[in-house]
Structure 1
Amino acid sequence: MLAILGATGKIGRSTIGELRRSGAPVRAIVRNSEAARDLQAVDCEIAVADIGDGAALRRAMQGATAVQVICPASGRAEDASTEMRAAIAAIVGALDAARPQSVLAISDYGAHLASGTGITLTFRHLEDELAKLGIPLTVLRSAEHMQNWGRLVKRAVQSGVLPSLHHPVTKRFPTVSAADVGLVAAEFLLSEEQMPLRIVHVEGPERYSTEDVAGILGELAGRRITAQELPRPAWVPALVGGGLSTGYAELVATMFDAHNAGRIDVEAGVGDTRSGKTQLRQVLAALMADG
């Protein structure tokens, strides 16, 4: 039995779809069973557990041979770092009680850095805490998700301007479709090979700049769209305006400072890198269709 935490998210759903196509038994761990009806339709066992409820998580993980975990996001929490660390403690405690044969963690590019990376430091903490368990651990460090542009697609098409926290807009950065991360995760969950610690970086088939994103959006929309650097003082207000708490927005802004300084990337000389197959154009076209 393979247990998937965060089963209703983009990565979780992709992992589960691939596992079920391979005939593997899957237990989807969800906060709300109503949101998992489609997972029940593909013969997933459903376990309901809030991310901060250690006892419920232990029950949900019990008897699983492998567990996929993801760092919980608290985008509306003012003290997001503290809240997310508390959730990580609950997850790690549940894993320690359940003692599966292996764990696969979805992490982030830059998680090897010990300071100055904002929200990415939470992924560093997740990796550190999981490593203490002594359970064979695979860490998938994901590049920025292509789907994150969905927050700006409609605005860019309407205004002709794509604002960006990536500076300069000509700088190419690693990015990946969330679904491709799930497919790579499924591959490792299905593998019988176990290692004390395995680190894998996952990004798309090529790297893009914000200018590339604007150009592709413009072609899809049939109009010129210009990439524009959002001034640093405007970052936090813009993120808060998009629905994040001030505390979380400040952590994201610090992460982009590190990104723009060239610090958020593959950890040199560590692990290997897998490339997803989904091109940015495919994702942007789907985001436009959904919008």
Structure 2
Amino acid sequence: MFTIIGAAGNVGYSTSSALRRAGIPVRAILRDRTKAARLSDIGCEIITADLHDAAALAKAIDGANAVQIIMPVSPRAKDPADGLRRSIESLFEAMAQARPKQVLAISDYGAHVADDIGMPSMFRDLEVRLAQLETQLLVLRSAEHMHNWGRVIPMAVASGILPTFQDPVDMAQPTISAHDLGLIAADLLLRPESGKELEVIHAEGPHRYSANDVAAVVSQLSSRVVRARAVPRSQWQAMFERTMPSSLANLLIKANDAKNKGGLVEISPNAGDVRYGPTSLIDALRPLVLPE
């Protein structure tokens, strides 16, 4: 039996579905039981638990052969950065109590960087803490998810301008479909045990894309000419803080600075296994531009 923490999200649901298709029992751990319907429909056992309640998490994962961890961000929290730190400690305590044979943690490109580069550094902290467990740890570092562009697509179609924090707008960056990432995670969970105490694997899509590439895809799908335009660095703080607390804004600003610098939010040097999902940018963005 495999347990998926954060099973209601795009990645978690994709992993859960793949495991169920393989005939594996799946226990889905959710914060909000109202999101359980589609997981119940595919035969998952549903348990609700607060990610900050280590005792409840340990009880929920008790008996699992493997646990997949997806650490969610709560943008509505008063201090999302502090919430992430509390989640890391709670997850560690829960795993230490339940002692599953294997833990697969979804991490981030750039988590190998020692300097503070915002969000990837939070995942570095997660990796370091989980590495202290007496269990087999599999770290799956993910490129940025393609569906994150969905936040600005309506604005781009309406105005003809795709605002982006990527600068320059023609710099290709690694990205991946969340669905593909979930399938890669499921494949790793289903494979024979490697025997390694710690293994780091990277995952990205079939090609790297720039903001210009995104604008071209949105143009093609919407039949509207759309051009990418970099948001001036001086406006970032105000733009982020319109929709989120300052602590989360700072994590994202640092991450975007690191991406634009190049070479940081990347595959780590001397990386071993890199997995490539098959979904192209146009296929990932099609349902966002042309919703049913």
Name the TM-score class by shorter chain: over 0.9
Which one-letter code corresponds to 1:267 in the other structure? S
Residue 219 of structure 1: how far off its partner (Å)? 1.0
Cα distance in structure 1, aligned partners of 2:35 and 2:23: 23
What's 1:196 paired with?
Answer: 197
SS of equivalent residue, structure 1 residue 179: helix
What's 1:218 paired with?
Answer: 219
Cα distance in structure 2, aligned partners of 1:33 and 1:136: 30
Residue 272 of structure 1: how far off its partner (Å)? 1.6
TM-score by length of structure 2 reads 0.97
What's 1:83 paired with?
Answer: 83
Cα distance in structure 2, aligned partners of 1:72 and 1:52: 11
SS of equivalent residue, structure 2 residue 250: helix
Retained in 2: the 8 A contact 1:116–1:258? no
Retained in 1: the 8 A contact 2:99–2:134? no
Unpaired stretches in structure 2, ≥5 consecutive residues: none
Residue 244 of structure 1: how far off its partner (Å)? 1.6
Which one-letter code corresponds to 1:139 in the other structure? V
Residue 110 of structure 1: how far off its partner (Å)? 0.2
SS of equivalent residue, structure 1 residue 67: strand
What's 1:94 paired with?
Answer: 94
Cα distance in structure 2, aligned partners of 1:19 and 1:175: 24
Q: How does 1:110-259 map to 2 (within 5 A)?
A: 110-194=110-194, 195-241=196-242, 243-259=243-259
Retained in 1: the 8 A contact 2:111–2:123? yes
In angstroms, what is the RMSD of aligned CA positions? Answer: 1.2
Deviations 1:199-239 (A, max 9, x none): 11100000011001001111111121111010011112222
SS of equivalent residue, structure 2 residue 73: coil
Deviations 1:106-158 (A, max 9, x none): 00000011223112111000000000002111101000000000000000000
Residue 82 of structure 1: how far off its partner (Å)? 2.1
SS of equivalent residue, structure 2 residue 118: coil
Residue 78 of structure 1: how far off its partner (Å)? 4.5
Which one-letter code corresponds to 2:167 in the other structure? H
Percent of counterpart pairs with the same letter? 45
SS of equivalent residue, structure 2 residue 181: helix
What's 2:73 paired with?
Answer: 73
1:271 aligns with 2:248: no
Aligned residues: 290
SS of equivalent residue, structure 2 residue 224: coil
What's 1:282 paired with?
Answer: 283
SS of equivalent residue, structure 1 residue 258: helix
Cα distance in structure 2, aligned partners of 1:134 and 1:75: 32
TM-score by length of structure 1 reads 0.97
Unpaired stretches in structure 1, ≥5 consecutive residues: none
Retained in 2: the 8 A contact 1:202–1:273? yes
- Shifted more, 94-103 versus 189-198: the winner is 189-198
Cα distance in structure 1, aligned partners of 2:79 and 2:33: 28
Cα distance in structure 1, aligned partners of 2:109 and 2:144: 8
Cα distance in structure 2, aligned partners of 1:93 and 1:188: 24
Which one-letter code corresponds to 1:225 in the other structure? V
Cα distance in structure 2, aligned partners of 1:197 and 1:257: 30
What's 2:62 paired with?
Answer: 62
Cα distance in structure 2, aligned partners of 1:83 and 1:154: 30
- Shifted more, 267-276 versus 104-113: the winner is 267-276
1:24 aligns with 2:24: yes
SS of equivalent residue, structure 1 residue 255: helix
Retained in 2: the 8 A contact 1:78–1:248? no
Residue 69 of structure 1: how far off its partner (Å)? 0.4
Retained in 1: the 8 A contact 2:222–2:290? no
Retained in 2: the 8 A contact 1:72–1:88? no
